Amino acid sequence: MANRVAIVGIGQTYHVNKRDDVNQQEMVGEAVRAALKDAQLSIKDIEALFFGNMETFEGIFLPDHGMAAEVGAIGKPGFKVNTGGTTGGSVVVEGFNMVASGLYDVVLVIGFEKQDCGDTTAAITAAAVPVWAKGAATGAIGEFAKQALAYMKTSGAKEEHAAMVRVKADKGACRNPYAHLKLGLKGIDEVLKSPYLVWPLRLMDFCPQSCGACVLVLASEKMAKKIHKKPVWIADYEVVHQEPFRAGIFGDPTGTETYTQHVACGKIYKRNNITNVRKQVDMAEIYEPSNWEEMNLYEHLHFCEGGEGWKLIEKGITEIEGEFPVNCSGGVIATNPIGATPVIRVAEAALQVRGDAGEHQATRDIKTAIATALGGPNWTVMFLLKRNT
């Protein structure tokens, strides 16, 4: 059995569309310092560092190249991982594995993206060789438009429900000092007036391009309690792959095939004896690039029965004051620095478990939380965090 691993330090930058005041390494350095400060450690205490970044979004393929000095990696082991949208999840997994294996006691996992350097949609369009599906590529937006259509058709959800999810996200983002888009939405009408990007996705239905970084300090059981009064344990995780370039992209467009979320959460729930998610888990920070996808994920992560995701938002269950809060931070639709995004999901879930989320702390007591990452080619990375294990 693997050694237990805890999150003992959390740091992130504020997130914004452009950071002309810093370069990539300076921006990442801000989050590294914040995480070390939270853990009350010095860089000298860190044994290894792991980076997560969607290179080429910055227009270069070695963004970690000039970063070793700024983040304190000189003379230390570590490497960068890139797994598309799930990058930040994969880098947390990597850090976890390194500590769980007993190789290291204290490591840093670093997720970052500085999207003002390049064009993300262009980079996604160029993610695969264009010998197949050339021209069908519409970046990530087109794929989520199709997903929204499929969801509308199978569940009977209306545009109003998607708008409710958007308003909920904005409420969280406005309370979160690190969030990017803080729109101050008063109601769903403002969302429904937003222009279409790719029908039926509106400008407000989709995540922004953010610059930012998020860093976690992970520690072994031996060190965790010495470092932090409130260590948050990574109780379990799962990674599931999917072939992304088949007709339906997100699996069979009929929605009848097993999605990676089904597989990932099925394994995690089984191993942890979770039979009723909303009763046995207290909240979730999920990777929802669009509001439509959030309702879809409620179902695919078994927060409710199939076809009922939109009812959770209609009843206010996933609101910050609700019975099962989802994305109190404002989520990906408010803040999306790609390589950092899933690290932020884990970080925000951990802050909720610690009770340190401040103004966007959920009303109910959070002892157990789920965090997910989504994106090709390893489609779902999922974590289960606990206050006590």
Partner 1 sequence: MAEQPAKKQAKEPEYIRLKFNAPRPYHWSTGKYLGHVYAEAKENKKLIGNRCPKCKDIWLPPTPVCPKCKVDMGWDWVELPQTGSVYQYTYLVYPLWDPHYGEKWANPYPSAIILLDNGVFYRHWLEEKDKEKLKDGMRVQAVWKEDYDERGIGQQDILFFRTIKE
Chain contacts with partner 1 (rule: CB under 8 A): 119, 121-123, 125-126, 129-139, 141-142, 145-146, 149-150, 153, 195-200, 243, 245-248, 252-254
Task: Using the structure block, give the residue that is written with the tokens 């089904």.
Answer: 262
The structure tokens listed for 68 are: 């070793």
Q: State the nearest-atom distance from the C-beta of 367 to partner 1, in Å.
A: 39
Are the C-beta atoms of residues 74 and 176 closer than 8 Å to each other?
no
Q: State the nearest-atom distance from the C-beta of 296 to partner 1, in Å.
A: 14
Distance CA 115, CA 141 (A): 16
Q: State the nearest-atom distance from the C-beta of 379 to partner 1, in Å.
A: 13
Q: Which is nearer to partner 1, 96 or 379 (CB)?
A: 379
Q: State the nearest-atom distance from the C-beta of 217 to partner 1, in Å.
A: 37
Q: State the nearest-atom distance from the C-beta of 65 to partner 1, in Å.
A: 21
Measured from the Cβ of residue 132, the count of other Cβ atoms closer than 10 Å reads 10
Q: Which is nearer to partner 1, 148 or 164 (CB)?
A: 148
- Determine if residue 270 is left, alpha or beta; phi over 0 gives left, psi from -120 to 50 gives alpha, anything else beta: alpha
Q: Which is nearer to partner 1, 69 or 203 (CB)?
A: 203
Q: 380 forms bridges with which residues in the sheet?
A: 240, 374
Are the C-beta atoms of residues 99 and 107 closer than 8 Å to each other?
yes
Q: Which is nearer to partner 1, 15 or 202 (CB)?
A: 202
Contacts of residue 24, defined as CB under 8 A and 6 or more positions apart, other chains included, come to 58, 63, 66, 67, 112, 114, 117
Q: State the nearest-atom distance from the C-beta of 234 to partner 1, in Å.
A: 30
Q: State the nearest-atom distance from the C-beta of 172 to partner 1, in Å.
A: 26
Q: State the nearest-atom distance from the C-beta of 358 to partner 1, in Å.
A: 36
Distance CA 188, CA 45 (A): 48
Q: Which is nearer to partner 1, 243 or 365 (CB)?
A: 243
Distance CA 103, CA 161 (A): 47
Q: Which is nearer to partner 1, 75 or 135 (CB)?
A: 135
Q: State the nearest-atom distance from the C-beta of 82 to partner 1, in Å.
A: 17
Q: Which is nearer to partner 1, 266 or 355 (CB)?
A: 266
Q: Which is nearer to partner 1, 1 or 129 (CB)?
A: 129
Closest by Cα among 164, 40, 36, 175 to 110: 36
Q: Which is nearer to partner 1, 74 or 129 (CB)?
A: 129
